[in-house]
């Protein structure tokens, strides 16, 4: 297969969401480019290749972070929800873990319907999809209020949902965007009322434990654009924002029957059937 043909196949895999096959081809092309300057130049100009290459590394980093908790400081342990923090300044990290007696699909639906996030996450002033390059790949903008005297924050990020069959989970990977455009989507300038944080990496892992049992993990590694992260901000984020975020996830998942989220699932049969197919794969793991 020619170099051009491989790049065309790569783009097809990218937009058809065949992520694992795309990762395999990215690895193959990365090796080949080490001894092929022409191919190397083509890959440097191929945005889909560059995004997939970063996604591959981010997924590996997420799995590594999720695999250990011993180096984290526990901040809150209540109602089957635990929150943790780690680091400060540009290396501030937060983490939350929760078990719930609910199926996976309602939780996946909560995070699939971006325009409804503000209806159940009270700290969000606004949440919107700036673009959807492919079915499970989004360009997102979130705006959130912060306690005085800290200025309100916003984040613009790309998010990718991928199944992780080995750990029987669905993994959502998020990272800030710093360019003016990405995958054909224009990125808005920061507004004067918000400080744009640098989300170095965030992952939301929704693990299948059984037909009515799910484990949710959330980790965010960010630069909140504060020289120092005061303890009251650590407490606010971990004891309030993160704790109540997970509590609301559980509450809204329990309210799924007859909700707007169930209605959205019915309105988007192709999208949610693919999610159900993934859940069936995890069940058989």
**Tell me, what DSSP letter sits at residue 79?**
T
**Tell me, what DSSP letter sits at residue 229?**
-
Which residues, other chains included, contact 18 with Cβ-Cβ below 8 Å and sequence gap of 6+?
none
Backbone phi and psi for residue 97, each to the nearest 5 degrees, phi listed first: -135, 135
The model's pLDDT over 67-114, given as tens digits with 9 standing for 90+, comes to 999 999 998 899 899 999 888 767 778 899 999 999 999 999 999 999
Q: CA triplet 130, 133, 135: central angle to 5 degrees?
A: 105
Mean pLDDT of 123-149: 86
The model's pLDDT over 224-238, given as tens digits with 9 standing for 90+, comes to 666 655 555 555 555
The model's pLDDT over 21-72, given as tens digits with 9 standing for 90+, comes to 999 999 999 999 999 999 999 999 999 999 999 999 999 999 999 999 999 9
- Count of CB atoms within 10 A of residue 209's CB? 15
Most confidently modeled range among 123-127, 149-153, 166-170, 223-227: 166-170
pTM of the model: 0.89
List the structure tokens of 52.
């997939």
Q: Do 112 and 105 contact (CB within 8 A), yes or no?
A: no
The model's pLDDT over 192-248, given as tens digits with 9 standing for 90+, comes to 888 888 889 999 999 999 999 999 999 998 876 666 555 555 555 555 678 888 999
Task: For residue 185, give the H/E element and its range.
Answer: strand 185-186
The model's pLDDT over 125-134, given as tens digits with 9 standing for 90+, comes to 888 999 999 9
Please tell me the number of Cα atoms within 13 Å of 214 on its side-chain side.
Answer: 23
């Amino acid at each position: 297969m020619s170099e051009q043909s491989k790049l065309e196949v790569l783009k097809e895999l990218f937009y058809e969401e065949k992520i694992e096959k795309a990762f395999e081809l990215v690895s193959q092309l990365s090796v080949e480019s080490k001894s092929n300057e022409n191919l190397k130049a083509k890959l440097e100009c191929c945005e889909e290749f560059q995004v997939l290459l970063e996604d591959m590394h981010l997924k590996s980093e997420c799995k590594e972070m999720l695999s250990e908790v011993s180096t984290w400081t526990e901040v809150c342990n209540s109602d089957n929800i635990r929150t943790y923090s780690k680091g400060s300044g540009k290396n501030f990290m937060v983490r939350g873990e929760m078990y719930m007696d609910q199926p996976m699909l309602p939780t996946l639906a909560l995070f699939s319907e971006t325009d409804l996030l503000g209806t159940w996450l009270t700290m969000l002033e606004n949440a919107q999809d700036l673009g959807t390059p492919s079915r499970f790949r989004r360009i997102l903008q979130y705006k959130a209020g912060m306690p005085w005297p800290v200025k309100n924050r916003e984040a613009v990020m790309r998010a990718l949902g991928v199944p992780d069959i080995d750990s029987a989970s669905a993994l959502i990977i998020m990272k800030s965007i710093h360019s003016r455009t990405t995958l054909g989507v224009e990125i808005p300038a920061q507004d004067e009322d918000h400080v744009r944080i640098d989300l170095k990496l965030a992952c939301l892992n929704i693990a299948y434990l059984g037909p009515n049992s799910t484990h949710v993990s959330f980790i965010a590694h960010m630069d909140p654009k504060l020289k120092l992260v005061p303890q009251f901000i650590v407490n606010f984020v971990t004891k309030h924002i993160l704790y109540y975020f997970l509590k609301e996830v559980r509450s809204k998942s329990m309210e799924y029957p007859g909700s707007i989220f169930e209605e959205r699932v019915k309105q988007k049969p192709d999208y949610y059937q693919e999610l159900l197919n993934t859940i069936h794969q995890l069940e058989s793991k």
